[in-house]
Every structure is written in C-alpha cells, then in structure tokens.
Amino acid sequence: MADGAKILILNGPNLNMLGIREPSIYGSDTLADIEHRCVAHAKAIGLSIDFRQSNIEGELVTWIQNCRTTHHGVIINAAAFTHTSVAILDALSLIDRPVIEVHLSNILARESFRHHSYISPVAVGVICGFGWRGYTLALDAIKDILGKG
C-alpha cells in the first residue's frame, strides 16, 4: 500500500522552537514551515500526513501505540528523546509499521551523547544532517518501502 498511505510524522521536545532555536545548527525554518513543505511533498507523491509535535514523552508513546491501526508508517524526529527513551523504542517496536528516523542536524558530527540513538535499531533507516529536506527524503523513502510491502 503506497498510494494514499497515511504517514504519521512525529516531532519531539523543543522542535516547536525551531526558527529561534540555535539557527546555526537547526536552520531558520519554523516547524510550521517544515510541516507545509511536508504537506506539499506528500500530496505531490500521493501520501497523506499527520504532522505532530510534543514536548511530553508519554504523549509521543501514546500516539505511536495508537497509530498501529490508523497509519501505514512513521517518520520520527524524537529530538533529545532519541538519546534517552527506552519507552519510545518499546512503542516503536510494537507497531509493526515501517519507521524512519530523521534529524535536522548531523548527530554523528556533534557531541558524543548524541551519537547513540535508541530508535535506530527499530528504524528502516536514518536520515540526518540535511535540515528540513530530511523530512521530504523520508517521505520518498517510506513511499518506496510501502510500495514494496
């Protein structure tokens, strides 16, 4: 199932502050700018998206749990929870849906505590370092994955 597939795009803590948050690292686009680009790109390639952000770990966990019956795949930038959250790893492990991990910055070129991701082991792949383009690249990738499934 690729055409018309519904994709959940999740954003973790502090990503609501994009635009004013460390623009030299994260760029000057706001999260709303990124959402608009994702909506336009998803439409162009025949996907529909549900774009959400939360600063609360448990809210992200609940959204991931619930998506197993409502969405065909997940794109997640878990932000700082990437490096800390076994709960998000466990939720992603139970949904039986393809997961793509995205980061705006190249986490491997930054502080060593950002080099470990709890999410990567359950992700089909990781896209980092391309800014907002990582999200649209992830949409292209998830469309291909769902088309093969």
Q: Which residues in this chain contact ligand DQA in the complex, by CB under 6 A?
A: 14, 77, 79-80, 82, 103-105, 107, 114
Q: Give the residue with the Cβ less far from ligand DQA, 77 or 136.
A: 77
CA separation for the pair 69, 14 (Å, rounded): 28
Shortest separation between residue 149's beta carbon and ligand DQA, angstroms: 27
Structure tokens at 31: 């999260």
Residue whose CB is nearest to ligand DQA in the complex, by number: 79
CA 12 vs CA 1, 31, 37, 52, 97: distances in Å: 27, 11, 18, 9, 19
118 is catalytic: no
Q: What's the min distance (Å) between Cβ of 11 and ligand DQA?
A: 9
For residues 25 and 51, the answer to whether their CB atoms sit within 8 Å is no
Smallest separation (angstroms) from ligand DQA to the CB of 39? 19
The verdict on whether 26 is a catalytic residue reads: yes
- Residues 6+ away with beta carbon under 8 Å from 17: none
Annotated catalytic residue: which of 41, 72, 103, 118?
A: 103
Catalytic residue list: 26, 103
